[in-house]
Amino acid sequence: MRNTTLCQIERDGKYLMLHRVKKTVDENKDKWIGIGGKFEEGESPEDCLLREVYEETGLRLRSWRFRGIITFVSDEWGTEYMHLFTSDDFEGDVRRDCAEGTLAWIGKEELLTKPIWEGDRIFLRLLQQDAPFFSLKLRYEGEKLVETVLDGNRFEP
C-alpha cells in the first residue's frame, strides 16, 4: 500500500495537468493526471502536497483545500490511498520541463475528452459539484473500473 497526493490546480476554468509520457514503466503511462506523487518518510499529506507541486511544476501553493481520500485498488499495481486537494491560490511560473511528463493548462470540459482514468471522471465531477469531503473507492482490473464506492455506498457511475 502506498500513500500519495494529487492536486487539481485551477486557473481561469482550467486545470494544470500532467501528461505522463516520459517513463517507460508507469501505471499512468499516456494518461493526463493532476499534480502529485508519493509520500516520503515522515511527511503529512500537506507536506507531500507542497513538495510534489513545487518539484513537478515550480509553483508554490499559498492555500489549498483537502477534498477527499481516494482508495485505488488494482490487480496490477496494488492499493493506493490518494489524498485529493484543490488549489487556485499559488505563486510562481510553471516550469517548462517536468521529469514526469508534459504540463499543460486544460479546460475542465476538454479534460474529459483526454485519456484519463475512468475513476478520475468521478472525482472530477465531485469537485465540480463542490461535494463535501468524500471517500471514494475505485477498484480496477487492468484499466477497467469494476467497482465504485462513495462514502461506503456502492454505486454505478
What tens digit of pLDDT does each residue of 82-118 get?
Answer: 999 999 999 999 987 777 788 999 999 999 999 999 9
Give the per-residue pLDDT at 77.
87
Angle value at C-alpha 147, between 142 and 148, nearest 5 degrees: 125
Model confidence at 121, pLDDT cuts 50, 70, 90, reads: very high
What residue ranges define each of the domains in the chain, with the CATH number in brackets?
A: 2-154 (3.90.79.10)
* Cα atoms found within 13 Å of the Cα of residue 61, Cβ hemisphere only: 26
Model pLDDT for residues 38-88, shown as the tens digit of each residue: 999 999 999 999 999 999 999 999 999 999 999 999 998 899 999 999 999
Alpha carbons 46 and 53: distance in angstroms, whole number: 11
